[in-house]
Amino acid sequence: MSEIAAELARVREAFDKPTLRLLDRKWAPFVLAVFKSAFSRDRRTVQADRLHSQVDAYLADLRSTGIAVPGGSGRALCVQWMNDQWLYREAGEGDAEQYSLTSSALEALLLVEGLSRDRALISESRLTTIVDTVRNRATEANPDREQRIRRLDAQIAQLSAERDRLADGGEIAAATNGQMHEGYANLVDLIAQLPSDFKRVEESVAGMHRQIVNDFRGEERPISEVLDEYLSKTDTLMSSTAEGRAFEGALVLLRNDELLHDLKNDLETILLHPFALELSHGERQGFMATVSLIRKGIDDVLTQRNGLTTTLREHIVNHDVVKDRELERLLREVNKELARWMETAGPRATVTAELMPGTLEINHLREKFYDPDAHVPPPPLDDVSDEAPEPPSLDEMRTQGGPLLEETRAALARALRSGSAASLGDAFNSLSPELRRPVEILGLLQLATQLSEEPLRDPDADADAEPNRSARLLERFETVRPDGSRRAFHVPRIILTTTESAALAALDDGTHND
């Protein structure tokens, strides 16, 4: 392969990465503007529903000003950005889904922010940092003892001469605003790279987590081999990459309380210089939040690593040695297919699955040996039809039915016309036994309600009382059951007026048309 062809292949590989794919898209300015507005150094994660609403608001705002924006809703765009590896969605507190920027999106934002700065980063401060770093690395790389001693002696002599000059009252040259601006820009540029570095470490641990889980599910390798690979990757993760080395440096910083305190004091000292008056409140606040930024990045990486360790521990503790059981293998295959399906399935995609397995089509399942006695037919039934009782007559069946309204109405009308009954109870007690069944009381009350709007009243009660109050007088109804037994019931006393008696007679004659 020629040199240009190899270089073209490397460039194409770089453009296939999410960072350059983001910058190469038509709507890249809009996407980066949304990321810059929705996320910040203090707001690393945003709830999914809230980000969807924010993107919808951004789209509506830009459309109202005539600016072209991509089509689709905020939720659809967020899902697309997640598939493009610019957003990462995970479960947060209370199992609520939340979004965070991937390392590729953070690198794209950092690149755009660097290009949008007015001040060039090639300065004395940047060159001094490079020279000091090269000198320190060269000193550590040189195994010659005498050469390292000469370097240290030179540094000691230079620092001692400066100390003696100041002790003798030498002039202290204060840094100018321009020099402080250059140094501040250099520091901000270095600090701004930390979030993407931490995110890359976090994604490396998450990728290792997914790989180990897939190895456990596949069971193609022994568990000991998987654990050995995990331990070796953990050992080399922090030293094989630049972001891993930055992570190790941050751990060393946070373990040293004195160094951390000195860092805070140095940050405050820088902001006490007059050049800081030209900085905005947000710039000063972000500069002082450097320690918090380092703490947050370390916490995120450690959380991912703790999750990986928890997965390993649970698998080792709960691993079943008996691997040949059919149910276990079936569940593992289902879990593997589900993980494969989730790689391409949408956020609301569903799959139809039965909660319980279907019934096996088996004609007969033998439960015990054949017993001939179990198939002997039962003995024939005796013919007792000659002993059957006589069926009840129609009149006997009527005595077991509901009230006899026609007969009861006629008998009551006769009793009231003769003047031998003062109330409905007296009239009822004077009827023949076949009309004094307990059920006839219900028929009697039904007839009384048909006579007037307020038939259920007692004229002997207090005239000022309500006609249907529950505290009216009761009278005794003597009933006779069809078997001849007697039962007494207490029913509110009802005395029919002359008009109501005439209405009852009209019902008996068939002339009442209500």
What distances in angstroms separate CA 215 from CA 206, 222, 226, 237, one per listed residue?
14, 9, 7, 19
* pLDDT in the model for residue 174: 75
For the chain, how big is the Rg over CA atoms in Å?
Answer: 49
* pLDDT in the model for residue 327: 67
Task: Provide the greatest CA pair distance for the chain.
Answer: 147
Give residue 514's pLDDT band: very low, low, confident or very high (50, 70, 90).
Answer: very low
Q: What sign does the CA torsion over 416, 419, 424, 427 have?
A: negative
DSSP 275: G
pLDDT digits (tens, 9 = 90+) for 4-46: 888 888 878 877 788 888 887 888 889 889 998 888 877 888 8
Least confident among 221-235, 373-387, 481-495: 221-235
Return the SS3 of 374.
helix
pLDDT digits (tens, 9 = 90+) for 177-233: 777 877 777 777 777 777 777 777 777 777 776 777 676 666 566 666 766 776 676
pLDDT digits (tens, 9 = 90+) for 348-358: 788 777 776 67
Out of 103-117, 184-198, 412-426, 433-447, the most confident range is 433-447
Tell me the CATH architecture of domain 3-105. Orthogonal Bundle (1.10)
The pTM for the full model equals 0.43
* pLDDT in the model for residue 52: 92
435 or 6: which carries more pLDDT confidence? 435
Q: Residue range 389-395: average pLDDT?
A: 84
Q: CB within 8 A of 288, min separation 6: which ones?
A: 267, 268, 271
Q: Residue range 440-446: average pLDDT?
A: 88
Average pLDDT, the chain: 77
Q: Quick one: how far is CA 193 from the chain centroid?
A: 34
* pLDDT in the model for residue 478: 92
124 or 369: which carries more pLDDT confidence? 369
* pLDDT in the model for residue 504: 76
Q: Residue range 381-402: average pLDDT?
A: 84
Q: Residue range 497-507: average pLDDT?
A: 75
Half-sphere CA count of 467, side-chain side, radius 13 A: 9
pLDDT digits (tens, 9 = 90+) for 147-193: 888 888 888 998 898 888 888 888 877 777 777 877 777 777 777 77
Nearest to 273 by CA among 175, 189, 191: 175
pLDDT digits (tens, 9 = 90+) for 251-279: 776 667 777 777 778 888 888 888 888 88
465 or 420: which carries more pLDDT confidence? 420
468 or 145: which carries more pLDDT confidence? 145
Return the SS3 of 319.
coil
Residues of the chain with pLDDT > 70: what percent? 78
Q: Inform me whether the pLDDT recorded for 404 exceeds 70.
A: yes
452 or 310: which carries more pLDDT confidence? 310
Q: Inform me whether the pLDDT recorded for 1 exceeds 80.
A: no
Q: Where are the domains of the chain?
A: 3-105, 193-342, 399-509
Return the SS3 of 32.
helix
Q: Inform me whether the pLDDT recorded for 340 exceeds 90.
A: no
432 or 116: which carries more pLDDT confidence? 432
Q: Inform me whether the pLDDT recorded for 324 exceeds 70.
A: no
* pLDDT in the model for residue 187: 78
